[in-house]
Chain A
Amino acid sequence: MTGALTSFLEASVRTATPLALAALGELLVERAGVINIGLEGIVLGGAFGALLGAGTNHLLLGFLAGCAAGIAVAALFGVFAVSMRADQIITGTAINLLVLGLTGALYRGLYGATGAALSIPTTGSFAVPVLSRIPVLGPTFFDQPPPTYLVYVVAPLFWWWLYRTHAGLAIRAIGERLEAVRVAGVDAHRWRWITLLVGGALGGVAGATLVLSQSGTFAEGMSAGRGFIAIAIVVLGRWRPMGVLIASLLFGAASALQYLFQAMGWSVPYQLFLAVPYVLTLLALAGFAGRRIESPAALGRAG
């Protein structure tokens, strides 16, 4: 029983890792008033970049390439949605379709219809000395692939950046009162670009994590909605780094339930549990009604 519970919690954190990475990036982007639906394409681009970069035995190169691919996709979004001030939703939707088509075509072109590319190296998990020996919580949080530890670093860093620095104040102000910020002489475009590229980098690493720490292979459309889930996580986490972490864990746990059920030999249709976090997100959003403190007021507005 404890074994099943531990492996369920461990799987929850593992599944939550790419979601948390992508969501932390989107959090930053949305605090600057941009909603990047193209995150789905960023994650997928990152996964494909990781495949190309990793080759047969270059893990670090794989992560770097995934990161770079994420930045590239985010930059394309930025050219339209920030620089040209085109509609963010339409741009994001188009970016998603573009990356889906391009990665699919390139993958088939490079590896043939059958796929292959099963020889990608994977990171495996990395036990933190001492901490990983804590019963249950140790293996859950401190015996994970490296990207999980990146989450532990990035979340507090973003909290500090957003709430304790002038830059963070500027970013939050852009997301709330665009005109006021502009009058005060802050370059909204510049900060939107910066947050977008940082978000792209994290989204790209999230995609690389799928390939290099989880599946060990690439499949067409393998982001499978994780970018959209990350957007939900930002909402459920109320646009705050800690909230995003907790919401990621919730989504991770919902997906990991299937492993728990398999381990326990229960034949419960886990699809219903998969839907729970989405329903929770909707309920949480509805609960915000009347208290318009939560979502950045200028979200979705051209700068």
Chain B
Amino acid sequence: MRPATPAPGASAVSTWRHRAATSLGGAAIVVMVAVLSLALLWVALRLAGFDATLALGALWRGSFGTWYALTSSTLVRATPLVLTGLAVAIAFRAGVWNIGADGQLLVGAAVATAVGLAWGAQLGWLSIPLALAAGAIGGALWAGVAAVLRTKFGVLEVISTIMLNFVALDLVGYLVRGPLQEPSHAYPQSDQIPATMHLPILIPGTRLHAGFALAVAASLVLWWAMRSTAAGFRVRAIGANPDAARVAGRVDVARTTTNVLLLSGALAGLAGAIEVSGVTFALYENISPGYGYTAIAVALLAGLDPLGVLGTGILFGSLEAGALSMQREASVPSVVVTAVEAALVLLLLAISRRGSAASIIARFAGARSPTPDDAP
């Protein structure tokens, strides 16, 4: 008796995305979002009485203005945003509410650190793929908890993934004060991982590490897989209408949901492992300034399209990198870009409201018992 349950995230933006994508093309979406965010920021700065011209100039210099800013700030910052953005996009596409990318990233970072500290020195460069794989598996298992809770027990993944974010945060808090704490036991952080586990630098003289290349590769692969493979079709099918996918397409909804969550968690876990081996070189409690939450904005503004996520991820990376220099040069608080990111999402909701109205119906009622055996 349950009504059809179209994808929440996907349909919420589908009308807007469809219109935008068909008429302008994917890259244009990013440009549009960029122009919009600059306009919003300009208005906010003027309202708050800042020198908007100076501030936006600083934003430009700190993000794209110099070769060093682009490679060492923007793209470095974009890497975890792209990967967690992909994690969210893929999940939302399947109608799976993974709000837990932040926790999955943390677990990935913790596992990668543990692997690096235990075996990094002996394994040499081999420790890099090992740590990245371990991080991805850690993130996947963390998301797997939510998958089991949803498919076996009917627990809404919205709630379970948020809970798991906090468990992960407490877990990392424990690890950096307990088993993984640095030898002097003075600071809540892990020991430095061995230099052999540091990700190679892509461009000499910059801080751009190989993790960015992985993020680009992941975008391309996922874009291709979503369009051109049977698995990608199943993901889109259960996102568009799980009942139709099950009855007409003989898709195992529970299994596809589980696989999507595992993949989503793996991407976020990989982001965590890359942060450790490419940027921080140690595990810290605050290793993520909320990447997993910003990722939701990244994914939505990209219309849940993997290639779009690469664009919006870099855009948000540039915003956050530029915000730091804006704070330095024009004393504009850098957190203002968080508000701009949020305003963009609200704007998107307002524009796509007709498309989203029908889409939410009974999503949660449907999520409660998604096993195939309750087919009508």
Contact = CB atoms under 8 A, between A and B. Distances in A.
Contact of B342 (A86, A94, A281): A94
Given A84-B349, A94-B345, A281-B163, A302 B361 contact: yes
Contact of A85 (B178, B343, B356): B356
A238 to B, nearest CB: 13
B338 A104 contact: yes
A231 B341 CA distance: 24
B166 A275 contact: yes
A272 to B, nearest CB: 5
A135 B163 CA distance: 36
Given A97-B293, A97-B297, A298-B365, A89 B167 contact: no
Interface of A is mostly: helix
Interface in A196-227: 220, 225
A201 B332 CA distance: 31
A272 B99 contact: no
A86 B349 contact: yes
A72 to B, nearest CB: 15
A19 B296 CA distance: 26
A109 B48 contact: yes
Contact of B345 (A93, A228, A272): A93
Most B Cβ at <10 Å: residue of A80, A100, A105: A105
Contacts of A61: none
A279 to B, nearest CB: 6
Interface string A242-273: 00000000000000000000000000010110
A90 B353 contact: no
Contacts of A285: 149, 153, 155-156, 159-160
B245 interface: no
B357 A89 contact: no
Interface residues of B, number: 62
Interface in B64-107: 97, 99
B51 to A, nearest CB: 13
Interface in B104-161: 145, 149, 152-156, 158-160
Given A278-B166, A292-B368, A94 B346 contact: yes
B362 A301 contact: yes
A85 B360 contact: yes
Contacts of A186: none
B24 interface: no
Interface stretch (B168-176, B224-232, B267-275): B168-176
Contacts of A134: none
Contact of B350 (A80, A231, A278, A295): A80
A91 interface: yes
Contacts of A93: 99, 293, 296-297, 345
B343 A98 contact: yes
Nearest to A229: B166
Interface string A92-111: 01111110111011111100
Given A93-B99, A271-B174, A299-B364, A104 B346 contact: no
A281 B164 CA distance: 10
Contacts of A37: 99, 158, 162
A73 to B, nearest CB: 12
A90 B338 contact: no
Interface in B2-41: 8-9, 12
A32 interface: no
Interface residues of A, number: 56
A105 B334 CA distance: 7
B170 A274 contact: yes
A256 to B, nearest CB: 15
Contacts of B356: 85-87, 302
Interface string B319-334: 0000000000001110
A111 to B, nearest CB: 11
B158 A89 contact: yes
B221 interface: no
B155 A300 contact: no
A88 interface: yes
Contacts of A108: 333, 335
B98 to A, nearest CB: 11
A101 B342 contact: yes
B64 to A, nearest CB: 22
B177 interface: yes
A247 to B, nearest CB: 13
B219 interface: no
Interface in A57-99: 80, 84-91, 93-98
Nearest to B154: A289
Contacts of A80: 346, 349-350
A172 to B, nearest CB: 16
B162 A231 contact: yes
A101 B336 contact: yes
Contacts of A97: 293-294, 297, 338-339, 341-342, 345
B353 A86 contact: yes
A37 B353 CA distance: 19
Contacts of A11: none
A171 interface: no
Contact of A228 (B162, B173, B346): B162
B363 interface: yes
A301 B156 CA distance: 13
A225 B164 CA distance: 12
A232 interface: yes
Q: Which 9 A-B pairs have the closest CB atoms?
A: A101-B339, A101-B338, A104-B335, A98-B342, A97-B342, A108-B333, A300-B364, A275-B170, A271-B173
20 contacts: A85-B357, A86-B349, A87-B9, A87-B359, A89-B158, A90-B345, A94-B345, A96-B342, A98-B339, A100-B338, A101-B340, A101-B341, A104-B333, A104-B338, A106-B48, A232-B162, A271-B173, A295-B156, A300-B364, A301-B363
Given A85-B356, A271-B171, A300-B360, 20 more contacts: A86-B353, A87-B356, A89-B8, A90-B9, A90-B349, A93-B345, A94-B346, A97-B342, A100-B339, A104-B333, A105-B48, A109-B48, A228-B162, A269-B177, A278-B170, A279-B167, A282-B160, A282-B164, A285-B160, A302-B356
